[in-house]
Structure 1
């Protein structure tokens, strides 16, 4: 990445990615589309928005609490034209559960679990905007 962007600092990127991870997980659980919109690519936003709408329709709420980040590593970096993509493996201890309209758990548990996520952030290096946006997310 440094050959394309001389100012790229992997540690600075990882610090920003951790902050984004915490913001995105919290905003997704809260259904906060305003926070999510600038942090996600268009396709990823549509996917998250659809899941939030599904929860709202089912009258479910999600509770997510990140207790700690146990690992944050760069797994891959790629460049396609001016689009840069960096894939991370994020290992975190979280409490994550979905509650039904009656407040009872529908999925997850009120207990700390170690979760591994594979997230890809992308940025158009030809644009002046320095923000990286989440373009893919999956469990790993």
Structure 2
């Protein structure tokens, strides 16, 4: 009975964390508010200031988090969903990046299932299966995320797709079945660059964004 209670508490904590990472709806906005993370608290934004083109509003400070080629797509997204907030999304995407990597390294399929669509989940699970079959385990650590830049934004029908370019330092160790280190070092972090694409149906009541594609730069 104690084990069941502990597992239930862990599941509830993961669900709450996921909900905080990729957004929630307070019931006051006309549409779902996307991702934010601030010690598991969702921070409401002030209404966006009107832009020169009223059909494509911009947000204060958004330019620093968005690559120039992505700004037209971002304006289209904000026109389709005026509750979208760039700063909150990027903050949530950074947190999701760390949580998904941690889940992959640990072989936590349940957490991956919550964050990823079917194709990405299958790729992660296949890599985990191969690692486990070889008797290998990872002792990786995300040292820091140096930057997270919105690289591309597309609105295809009711579906929004946002690609984020992450630059991060990762310390990695691979161990064999006996726990012996066979690769990597925790003393030397390696800089990695990835582009992860998140998707959400703007008509859906579900406020969460899912990881639908990963690319290594």
**TM-score computed with the length of structure 1 as normaliser:** 0.94
Query: Hey, what's the Cα distance between the residues in 1 that align with 2:184 and 2:163?
Result: 26
3-state SS, counterpart of residue 203 of structure 2: coil
Counterpart residue number, 1:53: 129
Give structure 1 stretches of 5+ with no counterpart.
none
Please say if 1:88 is aligned against 2:88: no
Counterpart in the other structure of 1:138: 215
Tell me if 1:115 matches 2:174.
Answer: no
Number of residue pairs the alignment of both structures matches: 140
Match of 1:65 in 2: 141
The alignment status of 1:127 with 2:193, answered yes or no, reads: no
Residue by residue over 1:89-121, the C-alpha shift from the partner in whole angstroms, topping out at 9 and shown as x without a partner, is 100111123222233344443321111111101
The gaps in structure 2 that reach 5 residues or longer are 1-76
Superposition TM-score, scaled by structure 2 size:
0.62
CA distance in 1, matches of 2:111, 2:194: 20
Query: Is the counterpart of residue 27 in structure 1 residue 116 in structure 2?
Result: no
Deviations 1:43-85 (A, max 9, x none): 1001101111111111111122111111110000011111111
Q: Which has the larger radius of gyration?
A: 2
Alpha carbons 1:93, 1:112 under 8 Å: kept: yes
Structure in which a larger fraction of residues adopt helix: 2
Say which SS state the counterpart of residue 199 (structure 2) adopts.
strand
1:38 aligns with 2:129: no
Q: Which 4+ stretches in 1 moved above 6 angstroms?
A: none
